[in-house]
Amino acid sequence: MILREVQVSCLPANIPDVLEADVSGLHINEALTVKDLVAPEGVRILNDPNQAVVMVAPPIAEEAAVPGAPTAVAGAEPEVLTERKPREAAPEGEKAGDKKK
């Protein structure tokens, strides 16, 4: 979508909530312009008639999967990186709070 709003001239009671446009007949690299919009009775569109409203862009090619790269498995649990690992047990004779001299 290129243009999200259009300027219209009409009575306040006739301001449309939406302007519908049929894009089903558009092909890749084709655009629907302001002149293709159908305004309700009593509404005049003020934008440049040749201004594009929507354009059909070619699809972006997906990158090929890199061999050997990890892939996501549906339903697999993610690795938790913020969890701390338990500390190793202190050697005998030392307590957790004792310092070596």
Phi first, then psi, for residue 54 (nearest 5°) are: -135, 155
Q: What is the pTM of this model?
A: 0.54
What DSSP element (H or E) covers 100?
none
pLDDT for residue 68: 61
pLDDT, averaged in runs of 10, over the chain (101 residues): 90 92 91 93 95 91 63 60 64 57 52
- Distance, in Å, from the CA atom of 25 to the CA atom of 39, rounded to the nearest integer, reads 19
Q: Which of these, 70, 8, 65, 71, lies nearest to 42 by C-alpha position?
A: 8
H/E stretch holding 34 reads: none
